[in-house]
Amino acid sequence: MRAKLYLAAVAASRFNPDMKAQKYRLSNNGKTKMQALGAAMRKLI
């Protein structure tokens, strides 16, 4: 299940404008790429 959420979060952070904005905002606040992807995975649930 985790792998499927990871793949969906990667795709969403590239193509979904809301997820892209969230990833950009988190990375500007000092979070790593994996932390931003983890947040996207939790948001998808």
Q: Which element (helix H / strand E) includes 18? A: helix 17-28
Structural domain boundaries of the chain?
Answer: 1-16+31-45
Distance CA 5, CA 41 (A): 6
pLDDT at 1: 87
pLDDT at 23: 95
Q: pLDDT per residue over 1-45, tens digit each?
A: 889 999 999 999 999 999 999 999 999 999 999 999 999 999 999
Distance CA 45, CA 32 (A): 21
pLDDT at 2: 87
